[in-house]
Amino acid sequence: MPLLPNASVKTKYDFTRSRFEWKRQFEVSPTTNILEEGSMLTRVPGPAGNEVVQLCHAGAAVGTERACGIACISRISATTFTDVRDFVVPAAPGPYTIQLPHAGLVDYGAGVAEAYVYDNTTAAALAVIAPPGPPAAGPPVQVMINTVSGLMTFNAAAAGDSVTVMYKWNLTAVERDLILRQSHVNRGAEDQFGLMTVGFGNCVVYTSMYDCHSAYAVGAPLYLIANGFVSSVDPGASIQFGRVISPPQPGDPYLAIEYISPA
């Protein structure tokens, strides 16, 4: 289907670079609510004895799930987005703080931001901690990130270092419209009919639906985790789902993955 005039081509996944071998409609499980396009889906037995799709789960919750593919919602549907930035930590005597361009970061748990911080100068990942801190010298060296304000506070051990920060934040309504634009008024009938178009088969997808608390490397395996995301870290007995062909980087926050899911 051609894009509408002036439509966004970069939403939760980048249409211009993603390729699906097949697309097919599946019935959505009545127990799941697919809020974001590009969500990773699995197949499970449905209440009527048929096969339905749901958001992927992790670990012991896998049960009878089988990997299916990517949710291709006809409307733009997003609540979060990702970003990757390069910074230089202020030199001594400080303060050793950096303000991220976005506030309202996603909480990974216990107030820790869903973020990954890599020190390019020392070639080591920093440990992300929650306020009130203060961040310690480690090892590993710590960085404190305020999820509300997006302010990063480094330990003096990282003073003057070049760092790359990957993080996820909650979109405001204004940000959603500015970054992703709006859908056509007639699009988005999935909720009404309980059906979802899924991209599956031999596919390449540039997606923002990944765990921003983990590192990614070319060729590394990926795993399905809860709520429709993939991660480079296996949460335990999870389903492997493809491999990395291009990690997120400054100027291009999408994770490129290749996966093969059966028809």
Residues 239 and 127 in one domain: no
Span 57-78, average pLDDT: 73
Residues 163 and 193 in one domain: no
**Which H helix or E strand runs over 177?**
helix 173-180
Span 177-197, average pLDDT: 60
CA-wise closest residue to 153 among 96, 114, 94, 110: 96
Sign (positive or negative) of CA dihedral 150, 106, 74, 41: positive
Tell me the pTM. Answer: 0.88
Which among 136, 170, 204 is the end of a domain?
170
Residues 44 and 154 in one domain: no
pLDDT reported for residue 57: 78
pLDDT reported for residue 103: 96
Span 69-76, average pLDDT: 77
- Total domains present in the chain: 2
Query: Is 50 exceeded by the pLDDT of residue 213?
Result: yes
Contact predicate 257/205, CB 8 Å? yes
Query: Is 50 exceeded by the pLDDT of residue 6?
Result: no
Q: How does residue 9 score in pLDDT terms, banded at 50, 70 and 90? A: low
Residues 150 and 202 in one domain: no
From 39-43, 144-148, 154-158, the region with the lowest mean pLDDT? 39-43
**Which H helix or E strand runs over 174?**
helix 173-180
Span 122-126, average pLDDT: 98
Mean pLDDT of the chain: 87
